[in-house]
Amino acid sequence: MAKRVLLLQGHPDSSSPHLCHALAAAYLDGARAAGHEVHQLVIADLPLPWLRFKAEFESA
């Protein structure tokens, strides 16, 4: 029985690859290969006013 899955990728920096990105991609691929319907929400892509990069944090 296929399930509907929402994958929240919560790493705040989408400018370069991180372990969280690789883990999310592997989970997404595995869930789809198992026949599930998967949607991904990338938190860093949301237009919210928070610190996203290490340089922003260090200068804040």
Q: What is the DSSP letter of 42?
A: E
Q: In sequence order, what are the residues at sequence separation of 6 or more whose Cβ sits closer than 8 angstroms to the Cβ of residue 42?
A: 9, 14
pTM of the model: 0.71
- ∠ CA(28), CA(20), CA(3), 5° rounding? 25
Beta strand segments in 1-60, E: 4-9, 37-42
Cβ–Cβ under 8 Å, residues 29 and 5: no
> What does the alpha-carbon distance between residue 4 and residue 8 come to, in Å, rounded to a whole number?
13
List, for residues 27-44, the tens digit of each pLDDT value. Answer: 999 999 999 999 999 988
Mean pLDDT of 1-9: 94
